[in-house]
Amino acid sequence: MNNNQQLIKTSLYDLHIEHGARMVDFAGYELPIQYKSIVAEHNHTREQASLFDVSHMGQIIIKSEDFASTAKALEKIIPANIIDLKQGEMRYSTLLNENGGIIDDLIITRPTNEQATDGTIFIVVNGATKADDFKFIKENLTKEIEISFEKHKSLLALQGPKAASVLSRFSDIVEKLSFMQSDATSIKDIECNISRSGYTGEDGFEISLNDKDALKLAKVLLDEPEVEFAGLGARDSLRLEAGLCLYGHDMNEEIDPISASIIFAIGKQRRIEGGFIGEKKILQILKDGAKQKRVGIIFEGRMPVREGAKLVDEQGNEIGYITSGTFSPILQKPIAMGYLPIKRAKISTEITAIVRNKQVNGEIVKMPFVANNYYRGN
């Protein structure tokens, strides 16, 4: 991001400051990294419910006259199965380049009739990449599909085991939604699109609404005794415990979804048929197997092993690297994600990292590090 460029303030900027937020430049936005304490906000999210301002994320709409046309056009770009989506269903996927490398990860929603006309698809992408993503999608969509940014919408996330009971005081939508489902509702006369989704591993909701209503809704939610603000710092440690990738760190344009251990971003049928950007390389990797793999590692002691740390074999040769790492507030241990050659990436094998010229021993473990708590009822 260009330093001369003015940082964008979200609709909740003043409220963040009022709550003692420490603001940082994130994807060109001025956003709270923390309020009082990252660890306290992290633990509050695991125990109660936290409100995150994620209005920097890109909300894109594509549409045509009918769902099948829009879905087919999007399937020509991304590797998910879109045509099968029912109204109100969401799906995680990626944008890929011709080499199968990940340009971004994203969430696709087929809205209900209450949310939009049936030829519409919602796409949410990362804040830092949204301008490039928009351009990429636009260039690759067939002409009859319209594409636009939701320029005047905020995105709030309410995450944690108490999120559902809090929201159910204002809307009966909660009992109708399972994990990765979406619908329209109103909260205190504020129109919202609510999705049961998030980036913390907890049950929770992402609420898209007009900028002009965001402050009012945030105050309504913060007035509930279980709800506190949480910042980007907690968001990062929570997603790490949940084993979720962060774009630009755990995946990038050099890494394909199979290596990134997010093969679920590619629809089952599409792994056979292809028909998306990067198909040739992806089908080849599916056939031959990936050379490396993203794994989760728990290290001994308390010293965090962070992005950029090398992973070495018994002889001290570099065989891999860490892409994200922190000290897990829940496990009270250092946790990390990194890449290793397939042969070295088996669960329960030992691995050594180098931090400040010292060896740190760890073990490859199954992710998530902390069990997720998604609501898959209904």
Partner 1 sequence: MKYTSEHEYVKIEGDIGTIGISEHAQNQLGDIVFVELPEVGKSFSKGDEIAVIESVKAASELYAPISGIITQINEQLDIDPALVNSSPEDKGWIFKIKLSNASELDELMDEEAYASHIG
Binding interface with partner 1 (CB under 8 A): 33-34, 37-40, 42, 233, 236-237, 301-304, 306, 326-327, 329, 356
Instruction: In angstroms, give the least distance from the CB of 38 to partner 1.
Output: 5
Euclidean distance between CA atoms 116 and 105, whole angstroms: 23
Please, what sign has the CA dihedral across residues 278, 281, 286, 289?
negative
Q: How far is the CB of 322 from partner 1 (least distance, A)?
A: 13
Taking each continuous run of H as one helix and of E as one strand, the counts in the chain are 9, 20
Q: In what order do the strands lie in the sheet with 89-96?
A: 89-96, 102-110, 120-125, 58-63, 146-149
Q: How far is the CB of 37 from partner 1 (least distance, A)?
A: 5
What is the Cα–Cα distance from 212 to 248, expressed in whole angstroms?
31
Least Å from the CB of residue 315 to partner 1? 26
Of residues 42 and 153, the one with the C-beta less far from partner 1:
42
Q: Which is nearer to partner 1, 356 or 376 (CB)?
A: 356
Q: Which is nearer to partner 1, 37 or 378 (CB)?
A: 37
Half-sphere exposure (Cβ direction) of 123: Cα atoms closer than 13 Å = 30
Q: Compare residues 237 and 261 and give the one whose CB is closer to partner 1.
A: 237
| In the complex, least distance from residue 201 CB atom to partner 1, rounded to whole angstroms | 17
**Three-point CA angle 20, 202, 78, nearest 5°:** 105
Residue 151 CA to residue 75 CA, distance in Å, equals 24
Nearer to partner 1 by Cβ, of 216 and 306: the residue is 306
Q: Which is nearer to partner 1, 6 or 332 (CB)?
A: 332
Rg (CA), the chain: 21
Closest contact distance (angstroms) between CB of 326 and partner 1 is: 6
For the record, the structure tokens of 16 come out as 């963040």
Q: How many CA atoms lie within 13 A of 32 on its CB side?
A: 27
Of the two residues 193 and 237, which places its CB atom closer to partner 1 in the complex?
Answer: 237
Query: Is residue 9 within 8 Å of residue 123, measured between CB atoms?
Result: no
For residue 64, the minimal CB distance to partner 1 (Å) is 44
